Structure 1
């Protein structure tokens, strides 16, 4: 057969579109991901996500390279998911360990915190100071504070929210970076021009 005949045969061969190639291999991709993740649901999620994310790239990949390229995409997606889940699991384990070993502040520390908050509350609007003292220092339920102040529970909740926001600003203004980093040795001497509050 001449060279011209071979080129006519090649022209008659219809090459499937990259999307069709991927769809034909759907089950193989799913099995591959299931082996990597150990979960059919995770495999289905990863495969669907990969199809959606990479569909627009298919036109730039040669037909004969679509399947190997997509296997690399899937492998990388599975690795990324594994890393994310590992980081989440480590974070949860660290939090659980912290909660298991956490102790309530001592009575002296609790008193010191309450005194500091009480001093700073005096710098707030009177209705905010009242809300902070009643709910956060005296540990009165919000509903009880609402009744005592002659407010509806929702109005009391809004007032407490605004009071806490104002107090937070005052703590940062007074204690500086101490407040941001949770320093326990806070003398609160920077409020009101360096004098004690």
Structure 2
């Protein structure tokens, strides 16, 4: 339902919503100058409209409705960046815990089945394992080369690792459960 058809729930003045909606373009420009992209600006504005409807009774008698709404927008921008900062910190912590690459001497002692298992993965998982774990490419570089963000690349890599582990257990059995460092499966003896 369009905002101009919503009842003036909580607003002391029936014109308050109309005054806010009349400045839609100005509000969007205000947000666009302070937020990274148009979609985020539009999302923030929609959320601010909802907040204005919910808290319309908080407007003081002599306070300008437009000034009050700008205050809501400024708070929404701060919340937006605060949430983004928390996501970035969580991502940085997660990627710092990921191994950078396999050490060459470990790669020589690992089960011979790993190459076949990796080749049998779906392309997006195989590329993630080959480039990040085996090739030493950073998660951030991998993300850029695949036109995605680092968080999505980390998720893809984690899923790829789980797929490798699952396939190794199916192929190698007990060897895989012990991380294939002392491989005794039939494949290594061929």
Q: Smaller-chain TM-score range?
A: 0.3 to 0.5
TM-score calculated relative to the size of structure 1: 0.42
Higher relative contact order (CA 8 A, sep 6+): 2
In our comparison, the structure showing a higher alpha carbon Rg is 1
